[in-house]
Amino acid sequence: MNEIVLKPKDHTRISLEAEVITPDSFAGKSLDEIENMMLYQGNRSVRLKERFDVSGSPCDTAADLRIIIDGDAPRTKRVGEKMSCGEIVVRGNIDMHVGAEMTGGKITVEGNADNFVGREMVGGLIHIKGNALDYVGGTARGKMEGMRGGEIIVDGDAGDHVGNFMYGGVIKIRGNVGQSAGQHMRGKGTIIIGGNSWSRVGCEAADGTILVKGKVHLSTASLGYGCIGQVVKDPELGGDVIEGEFYELRADMGYEPKCGIAKVYASVGLNEHILPGGRTSVPRKGDMPVNRDMLPYLKIYHEEMIVKGGKK
């Protein structure tokens, strides 16, 4: 597999829009041509070589190409947008829209990712080894179709609205998630949450499945006021058998009753408060899912705060 290494030169405050960083657009180009590709920054445009040191061996077929962003790129948006094959590895943090609308290939982010990871993706695999922020596998505002296929794995926590308007595919979050996971799910998608889920799991979901291995916060969820289904042992979801006992719950009424019913599985051990007559739990401090200091942009911000400097 041929590799092209992009080493970020410096951090700018204004985000780069780098939708050209995909194997599809790098394939068949020489290093010189790649260096001169245009990125957008604010209302200006810059050449790729002004922001990245480019090295490696180009190749003609995108499927054999691996792009490595060798370092932190917390202000580089839209990396891997609409990619169809090949591989991207980010050795650090990355900004919004990583892997948006991708149809195939693989993206690995070794740090954290900002909002809209895998927005409206159709296929392929995104693996975030740190935390991800809001709208993982979600949709842009006003669009009614989110993620349709493929797989997103987040090893850390994720923010709010995971799988917003999801139509298919699998999202696996190993840590906790924020509120409204799987809201407006419309298709046969699957969300598996390893940790706790903040309120309103599956709100207004019409179809699909959400499994929470930790606690489902009922304090603001609609869950549980309807039917409490049976207890299911070791359900099979997203190609895996998940060990343990889970309550099978109806997520929401959806748009119309005819839409089908989304299911939420919540672990039996931690979710007694869901049962009829159970006390609605009061959120405690330790329950909040995402450690918000992990956000890549806050890091930049705090660095600047230390430098201080008055007005201009």
Partner 1 sequence: MIEEKENIVCPFCGCLCDDGVVKVEDNKIVGTRNLCRIGHKKFESAQHGRAESPRIRKNGELVPVTLEEAFDKAAEILVNAERPLFYGWSATCAEATQVGCELTEACRGIIDCTATICHAPSIEAIQDQGAPLSTLGEVMNRADLILYWGCNPMHAHPRHMSRYSVYPRGFFRKRGRKSRTIMVFDPRRTDTAKLADLHVQISPASDHMLVHTFREILNSYDVTHETVAGIPADAIRETMEAMAQHQWCILFFGMGLTQQMGKDRNIDVAIQLMHELNKYIGIRTTLMPMRGHFNVAGANITICSETGYPFAVDFSRGYPRYLPGETSAMDVLYRGEVDAMLNIGANPGTSFSNRALSHMAKIPLINIEPHNQQLLQISDVVFSPAMVGIECEGTAYRMDNVPIKLRKVVEPPENRLPDVVILTEILKRVKELKGKGA
Assess contact for 148 and 188: CB atoms under 8 A. no
- Considering only 226, 245, 269, 291, the residue that binds partner 1 (CB under 8 A) is 226
Residue whose C-alpha is closest to residue 198's, from 292, 288, 116: 288
Stretch that binds partner 1, among 12-20, 168-176, 232-240, 264-272 (CB under 8 A): 12-20
**Do the bridges between strand 170-173 and strand 16-17 make them parallel or antiparallel, or are there none, so unpaired?**
unpaired
Neighbours of 180 (CB within 10 A): 24
Write out the E strands in 135-254.
Answer: 151-154, 170-173, 190-193, 209-212, 228-233, 236-237, 240-241, 245-250
187 forms part of the interface with partner 1 (CB under 8 A): no
Dist. CA 312–CA 294, nearest whole Å: 28
The stretch among 57-65, 85-93, 189-197, 224-232 that binds partner 1 (CB under 8 A) is 224-232
8 Å CB contact between 252 and 222:
yes
For residue 137, which of 165, 175, 176 has the smallest C-alpha distance? 165
What's the closest the beta carbon of residue 159 comes to partner 1, in angstroms? 10
Q: Quick check: 114 and 297 in contact, CB under 8 A?
A: yes
- Count CA atoms within 13 Å of residue 133 on its CB side: 19
**The one segment of 2-10, 22-30, 275-283, 286-294 that binds partner 1 by CB under 8 A:** 275-283
Percent helix, percent strand, percent coil in the chain, to nearest 5 = 15, 30, 60
| Helix or strand holding residue 108 (H, E) | strand 106-109
112 touching partner 1, by CB under 8 A: no
15: contact with partner 1 by CB under 8 A = yes
Stretch that binds partner 1, among 122-130, 139-147, 169-177, 241-249 (CB under 8 A): 139-147
Among 134, 151, 157, 207, interactor with partner 1 by CB under 8 A: 134
- From 23-31, 199-207, 236-244, 264-272, give the range in contact with partner 1 by CB under 8 A: 199-207
Single-letter residue type at 122: V
Q: Please, what is the minimum distance in Å from the beta carbon of residue 32 to partner 1? A: 26
Binding string, 281-310, against partner 1, x = CB under 8 A? ----------------x--xx--x----x-
Nearer to partner 1, 108 or 220 (CB): 220
Of 10, 230, 236, 257, the residue at the interface with partner 1 (CB under 8 A) is 257
Binding partner 1 (rule: CB under 8 A), the pick from 38, 47, 188, 225 is: 225
Instruction: Name 126's bridge partners.
Output: 107, 152
Please state the closest distance from residue 106 (CB atom) to partner 1, in A.
25
Q: Interface with partner 1 by CB under 8 A: which residues? A: 13-15, 17, 40-44, 96, 115-116, 134-135, 140-142, 144, 179-180, 183-184, 199-200, 203-204, 219-222, 224-228, 252-253, 255, 257, 276-278, 280, 297, 300-301, 304, 309, 311-312
